[in-house]
Structures are given as C-alpha cells and as structure tokens.
Amino acid sequence: MMKYKYPKIDSTFESPMLNAFNLHLCGGWRWPNVNVKEEILNRVIQGLKPVGDIVDEDHNIERFKQIAEKEGLTFSVYPHSWKGHKSITICRDGKFNEIFDIEALFSDYCKYFLAIFKKTKGRYQDFRRRIASCKLSNFLDFDIGYPNSFSDVIITGLILGYPVWSTVAVMWMKKRR
C-alpha cells in the first residue's frame, strides 16, 4: 500500500490504458479474488493496459502465447530463474503516438515539472520527440525494476499503464531524497 503525494494540475491527458487498477497488477500485492495473470492478459487485450508481464509455469506460458497470437498481440518469451517457469511480456501493437496523445501527455508532465521543480525540464521535450515514433514493442525487454532517470520512470509508468499522477509521485519522492 502506498500514499501518493503529487501536485494538483489541470490535466489534459486521458487514456483508458493508464488507470489506477493497473497499480494492483504490479506483482507485490493485489486485490483478493483477482487472478492476476489472467487479468493482465485480459487488460492488454481489452486496451486497458499497454504492456503486461506474466511469470508462470512453462505450459501456462504456452497457453498465454497462443492467446496473444490469436489476439494479434506482440510478445516475447524469456526463460525465468525459477525452474520450470518462463516470462511472457505482451503488448499492443503500434507506436506511442498512435496509442497515446503524446502532446497532451507531455503537456501534463510539463505542468507537473513546473509545480515540482519550478521550471520545465527542457530535455523532456527532446524525450517526447524521441519516444513518440517508437513502437511499444521496442520496450518488451525494458528494465522496469531499476529506472535510472526520470525518463525511465516515465517510460515504466507509461508501458505498465500507471496513472500519470502515480508516476509523478514516484519522481517527486526521488527528488526529495
């Protein structure tokens, strides 16, 4: 459980893929009676989560792979350190600027940066231009566990479908350390 602290802004960005429920699928805790693995897959299929990562036994990963193929999703399967387990990372096909309103998204980030840092971070405009035409599938092997920069935090939040305010809260906590 976590309390989120972030400044209030007039947000212009909206996407059904970035939502608070996706925070419940982060692997550390979850709602009772929710089959997390099935929920992750279903939310990617339904357009409620951009990317999902599932670790399971080999035979279940094969079933998830078949479903992903049938649904036209892009995926990668990786060996996992647990014996008899693999990881499958699945995503919707397309570029960030086809899936998200990049201009509205980064407009909101600039508003947050003004509120937190008292200035906009110019390098994020360049970051916006660079990421806009990238395919979501380019990030199937992105290391979400150890973001090295605010740009990595933004990418992590975006690909996992976390609300912008929760991603900003993480950046604000990092700034205060």
Q: What is the mean pLDDT of each run of 10 residues along the chain (177 residues)?
A: 73 94 77 84 96 93 96 94 91 92 89 75 66 89 80 88 90 63
**What's the pLDDT at 173?**
67
Q: Rounded to an integer, what is the distance from CA 97 to the centroid of its chain?
A: 15
Q: What pLDDT does 85 receive?
A: 93
Q: What is the pTM of this model?
A: 0.87
Query: What is the predicted pLDDT for the residue at 2?
Result: 61
Per-residue model confidence (pLDDT) at position 42: 96
In this prediction, residue 133 carries a pLDDT of: 86
Tell me, yes or no, whether 73 lies in a domain.
Answer: yes
Q: Is residue 10 part of a domain?
A: no
Whether 7 maps to a domain, the answer reads no
Are 79 and 133 found together in one domain?
Answer: no
Among residues 91, 111, 137, the one where a domain terminates is 91
Residue 127 located in a structural domain? yes
Which residues form the domain of 150? 96-176
Number of domains in the chain: 2
Same domain, 38 and 110: no
Closest by alpha carbon to 75, among 137, 27, 135?
A: 137
Show Cβ contacts of residue 156 under 8 Å, excluding neighbours closer than 6 positions. 142, 144, 147, 162, 167
- Structural domain includes residue 148: yes
Mark whether 109 and 155 lie in a shared domain: yes
Identify the domain boundary among 74, 91, 108.
Answer: 91
CA distance 57 to 51: 20
Looking at the structure, tell me whether residues 87 and 100 fall in a common domain.
no
Note whether 106 and 70 are same-domain residues: no
Residues 80 and 117 in one domain: no
Asked if 106 and 87 sit in the same domain, the reply is: no
Residues 83 and 125 in one domain: no
Q: Residue 14 falls within a domain, yes or no? A: no
CB neighbour class for 61 (10 Å; exposed up to 12, middle 13-18, buried from 19): buried
